[in-house]
Chains A and B, each alone.
Chain A
Amino acid sequence: MAQKAIREYDAKSILAKHWDKYFPDFTYAYETVMVQNGSELKEEAKSKSWLNEKTLVAKPDMLFGKRGKNGLVLFKDAKPGDVTLEKAASWIDEKASADQSVYFSFDGDTPTGEPSIDRLTHFVVEPFTPHEQAEEYYVSATVVGDDDVIYMSAEGGMEVEEGWDEKVTEVAFPITATEEEIAEKIRANVPADVADKDKAQFAEFCIGFFKAYRELNFAYLEINPFVMQGNKIELLDMVAKLDDTAGFMMVDEWGNVEYPTAFGMEAKSPEVEAIEEADAKTGASLKLTLLKPEARIWTMVAGGGASVVYADTIADFAGIEDLANYGEYSGGPTTGETRFYAETLLDLMTREKDAQGRDKILIIGGAIANFTDVAKTFTGIIQAFEEYADKMKEVGIKIYVRRGGPNYEKGLKDIKEAADRLGLYIEVYGPETHVTDIVRMALEK
């Protein structure tokens, strides 16, 4: 799914790993650890002496920003810069012990909107770095339209976010821009507010940053702020997304990077994880998202585009309250893969009866396939019916099928016969029926 967010700790680790290649004229101490609790932090301190020797900063590392405004950055005990290892460890344990409310947007210092409530599970701990406000800078890069854009500012932290238009210089580059063109243009566009004596240094750092962004296949990369003291760099805060489709080329470059679920997002269910695992192993595509597992309409739709129009049509006719899942299978999955996919859905669907006592609806939809063999995939679905027929009858399920493509006549005939034999309610339609019309039919009953 292309662009995936990674932890701040991983972003720093990737840059640190390639530091000398991209920033040969700068130093970065890479003093940072990620821990899940206080005792892990103390364990780290046995091998990393700076954790004992320096005063520290601790904060959650779970893909959300505005941690300062949410009161989730520990940088002082009695006064700024006096946090000891002991204090950091106890603070982490305290914050990890109960649900935390986190606001994602603020009006000034006042939170707006509803908070997300979830457990904090990952923290980064780094040395407290005393520095002047004037030594803080901002840099980020991402794709806008067809171009890569670098954003640079002489001011970091909150200031840049609140005064974006005045304080940020942006420069766009086509994908085919050469290193020389990029370097030249960045040097020519250093923000005016950067002190003259630091301009050259700043430009060199940004050139290295942008090269790293490009070559390491980041989809988004932000350092806000970084501190530049001569040739010494501190990365105070980072946000990054990777283009995970490049993963096969970046095995060594990225190292062991993980794509965590964002704070406040429900953890993936084992069923969804199982489908993802199956998807990763096949050349075909198997996708599943649970929207509302207690809802009554379930979809088992073939094709990326068709699955969307079915979801659209269900939303139009029934509203999203009734839609339990979104997903699709496509690209010619084998009978076995389709069976596994169908069984996962049927298992989820037959766990509870509808709260209002209605029949549930299973939409086995799809457009006219280009190359997926309908009879073969339907054989997998039929095998799943055989496994789950009793449960399906107990819960009460009406099945609506619409499909076309290679071997569709056989597929439709087989599934109809199987459902009849198993005593399941089924209606079956081919390409003569408009693709999403079975949704209307199902809901009019």
Chain B
Amino acid sequence: MEQLYTKDTQAIFWNNNKTAIQRMLDYDYTIQRKTPSVAAIVAPTSGNKFEKFFYGPDEVMIPLFKTTADAKAAQPQADVLLNFASFRTAYDVTMEALEIGGFSSIMITAEGIPERLARAMNQTAREQGVIVIGPATVGAITPGAFKVANIGGTITNIVQSKLHRAGSCGLVTRSGGLFNELSNIISINADGIAEGVAIGGDRFVGSVFIDNLLRMEKNPAVKYMILLGEVGGTEEYKVIEAIKDGRITKPVIAWCIGTIAKYYDSGVQFGHAGASANAESETAEFKNKAMAEAGIHVPATFNDLPAKIKEVFESLNLDPIPEPEMNICPTVRRSKEFICTISDDRGDEATYAGFPISSVATPDTGKGIGDVVSLLWFKKQYPKWATDFIETVIKTVADHGPAVSGAHNAKVTARAGKSVVESLVTGLLTIGPRFGGAIDGAAKYFKHADDNGMDPKAFLNYMKGEGVPIPGIGHRIKSLKNPDLRVTGLMNYAKEHFPSTPLLDYARTVEALTTSKKENLILNVDGTIGILMVDMWRALGYSEEEINEFIESGTLNAFFIVGRSIGFIGHVLDEKRLAMPMYRHPMDDILYDVPMAEKI
């Protein structure tokens, strides 16, 4: 890998650090990236599914996941992990990501990870060929391509420091604050940077100076390199070795900060945890001298570094870098209160999930209500066998006579003189766990049993343990000998048109057992609908998690609500037509048992 990041690089951001992520997206917009540089956010304690961010003047949604594994499975192309976990959990997050695999680099921001953990994590990554940036770092940047979190600071500073497009310097520092400062100095005295890494201030960091400089040596965009080292450690000597043995041939400018440390005994800790000299060779002064002797360009003091950069840069006589076109991030932006992902009325004609209404409405389009449901509820174009099934369900559940509680309530309300909508919602409000809810319940429990490989007997025992009758099983009068023809119709349709019906097949084995106990314990219409819906979604390629989500969110009930609304409205209109008077329930139909209240 010659270049740390490209314009296509995407990251998984561990921790929903909104400011840092927004800075990345501001950068993406400014440099006109095609995709946001953050593909997913891992937020273990959040109940949300996405977070909104600005993308220039507009907003985008970035999906949230509870685990790195889920995020990686959903966004496999994202091969950078930005680990913003605290020092307590950063190690676990890194190790888990290494186990999941598929990451080319991991950046770790926490400072003060226990040393043994930091070493183990760095070593494991190294063995797998994964580049670790940090711990205790602000990150890295490939200008014009990808920027990690907060590096470079605000978008204004980034443009000022020419970090929005590739220059010709490869920059490696320990310190994050000075990285920014150096970028600024390089933009003033040279033409900006091609790639930059702040390796981190802790004593044990993953990639060290030499790792980054050797990569930059191979990167044709890098024409010369700047290294800002620190008192303590011997990493700078590896760079000297590489220059001596010819692995580094590009010009290097370097300076080690912390020349003051020699005046004080080791009790004074200057700067980072890694900045402490244990031997003379680890002092800044000694390292600066050794680097100068090896042919590295070393200024007399840090204050002279800008002049040194100018001198070396000008001696290279590089062609000027063309300034690319860029977007300007608006400074005042307002977050949207509502989000809509199913339809859009901004154009000439309103659309359903991208389809103009006229393209699905009239009979000549060949589209039915099932197609409209699939577009507006699921944002997908379902195949004909599925939309036909949806319509079959809606038709099947439309009405079940005036005696059921929902219809009864609607009728009573209509007779009280209320309007169509008031009477309708009274009926609809009756739908729930006992009325219509068996569809949800059947889908949920049968799927659970099937997912967990329970045989019918085990399933019955399980339901006994739960203390609930099996939803979707049992009918008042119908039995195997006297079958419910609605059920037969649904099953026949599914057998003929569904690619397969695994859950229905399972449910039939359960039915065989329950009907052997009692004749009327058949799979009823609610159960059949719930179970076949699961089979439909399975055949359409939805994951088990997605199907569970449909069940949890009440999608199955929604089919019942739509269908039964047709029937309720029929009953309400019927009442209006008949002009029936206000209903009063006969008193002889009520058991009165009202004792005198006791005093307490």
Inside 8 A of A269's CB, which chain B residues have their CB?
none
Considering the complex, which residues of chain B in the window 465-484 have a beta carbon less than 8 Å from any beta carbon of chain A? none
Contacts A249-B114, A304-B271, A437-B303 given; does A309 touch B178 at CB 8 Å: yes
Shortest CB-to-CB span from B593 to chain A, Å, is: 63
Do A368 and B184 have beta carbons less than 8 Å apart? yes
**How long is the Cα–Cα vector from A313 to B124 in the complex, in angstroms?**
39
Considering the complex, which residues of chain A in the window 208-266 have a beta carbon less than 8 Å from any beta carbon of chain B? 214, 217, 219, 243, 245-246, 248-249, 262, 265
Do A143 and B303 have beta carbons less than 8 Å apart? no
- CB-based nearest B residue for A439: B303
**How long is the Cα–Cα vector from A317 to B267 in the complex, in angstroms?**
24
Do A405 and B157 have beta carbons less than 8 Å apart? yes
Do B260 and A311 have beta carbons less than 8 Å apart? yes
The yes or no answer to A191 lying at the interface (CB within 8 A) is no
The yes or no answer to A413 lying at the interface (CB within 8 A) is no
Do B115 and A245 have beta carbons less than 8 Å apart? yes
Do A434 and B178 have beta carbons less than 8 Å apart? no
Residue from A3, A303, A312, A326 in contact with B259 in the complex, judged by beta carbons closer than 8 Å: A312
Interface residues on B, range: 35 or more
The yes or no answer to B230 lying at the interface (CB within 8 A) is yes
Listed residue (B114, B157, B181) with the most chain A CB atoms within 10 angstroms of its CB:
B181
5 closest Cβ pairs, A-B complex: A305-B175, A303-B177, A246-B114, A305-B178, A367-B181
**How long is the Cα–Cα vector from A369 to B264 in the complex, in angstroms?**
28
Inside 8 A of B506's CB, which chain A residues have their CB?
none
Q: List 17 A-B contacts (CB under 8 A).
A: A174-B123, A219-B115, A245-B113, A246-B116, A248-B88, A304-B177, A305-B228, A307-B271, A308-B260, A312-B257, A312-B284, A313-B303, A370-B151, A370-B152, A371-B19, A405-B153, A440-B303
- CB-based nearest A residue for B267: A265
Do B263 and A369 have beta carbons less than 8 Å apart? no
* B-contact bits for A287-311, CB 8 A (1 contact / 0 none): 1010100000000001111111101
Residue from B111, B117, B154, B174 in contact with A406 in the complex, judged by beta carbons closer than 8 Å: B154
Residue from B157, B185, B230 in contact with A308 in the complex, judged by beta carbons closer than 8 Å: B230
**Hey, which bits of chain B sit against chain A, CB under 8 A?**
19-20, 87-88, 111-117, 119-120, 123-124, 127, 138, 150-154, 157, 160-161, 173-178, 180-181, 184-185, 201-204, 228, 230-231, 234, 257-260, 263-264, 267-273, 275, 284, 301-303, 306
Shortest CB-to-CB span from B465 to chain A, Å, is: 40
**How long is the Cα–Cα vector from A171 to B254 in the complex, in angstroms?**
35
The yes or no answer to A78 lying at the interface (CB within 8 A) is no
**How long is the Cα–Cα vector from A330 to B275 in the complex, in angstroms?**
16
Contacts A175-B123, A436-B303 given; does A308 touch B270 at CB 8 Å: yes
**How long is the Cα–Cα vector from A304 to B117 in the complex, in angstroms?**
23
Shortest CB-to-CB span from B53 to chain A, Å, is: 16
- Majority DSSP secondary structure for residues of A touching B: mixed
Shortest CB-to-CB span from A144 to chain B, Å, is: 10
The yes or no answer to A98 lying at the interface (CB within 8 A) is no
**How long is the Cα–Cα vector from A262 to B265 in the complex, in angstroms?**
12
Residue from B116, B138, B302 in contact with A217 in the complex, judged by beta carbons closer than 8 Å: B116
Contacts A245-B87, A405-B154 given; does A320 touch B301 at CB 8 Å: no
Do B184 and A309 have beta carbons less than 8 Å apart? no
The yes or no answer to A1 lying at the interface (CB within 8 A) is yes
The yes or no answer to A355 lying at the interface (CB within 8 A) is no
The yes or no answer to A267 lying at the interface (CB within 8 A) is no
The yes or no answer to A176 lying at the interface (CB within 8 A) is yes
Shortest CB-to-CB span from B379 to chain A, Å, is: 37
Interface residues on A, range: 35 or more
Residue from A289, A291, A316, A369 in contact with B301 in the complex, judged by beta carbons closer than 8 Å: A316
Do A146 and B154 have beta carbons less than 8 Å apart? no
Contacts A308-B230, A405-B157 given; does A2 touch B115 at CB 8 Å: yes
Do A306 and B178 have beta carbons less than 8 Å apart? yes
Do A306 and B303 have beta carbons less than 8 Å apart? no
Do A434 and B185 have beta carbons less than 8 Å apart? yes
Do A371 and B258 have beta carbons less than 8 Å apart? no
- Other A-B contacts than A246-B115, A368-B180, 7 sampled, CB-CB below 8 A, are A175-B123, A248-B87, A265-B267, A303-B175, A303-B177, A305-B173, A366-B177
Residue from A249, A302, A439 in contact with B177 in the complex, judged by beta carbons closer than 8 Å: A302
Contacts A305-B173, A305-B174 given; does A434 touch B306 at CB 8 Å: yes
Inside 8 A of B258's CB, which chain A residues have their CB?
308, 312
Do A217 and B19 have beta carbons less than 8 Å apart? no
**How long is the Cα–Cα vector from A285 to B272 in the complex, in angstroms?**
11
Listed residue (A309, A311, A323) with the most chain B CB atoms within 10 angstroms of its CB:
A309
**How long is the Cα–Cα vector from A435 to B454 in the complex, in angstroms?**
70
**How long is the Cα–Cα vector from A50 to B311 in the complex, in angstroms?**
75
Do A175 and B302 have beta carbons less than 8 Å apart? no
- CB-based nearest B residue for A175: B119
Do B269 and A1 have beta carbons less than 8 Å apart? yes
Shortest CB-to-CB span from A254 to chain B, Å, is: 12
Listed residue (A214, A312, A326) with the most chain B CB atoms within 10 angstroms of its CB:
A312
Shortest CB-to-CB span from A320 to chain B, Å, is: 5
**How long is the Cα–Cα vector from A309 to B246 in the complex, in angstroms?**
31
Inside 8 A of A38's CB, which chain B residues have their CB?
none
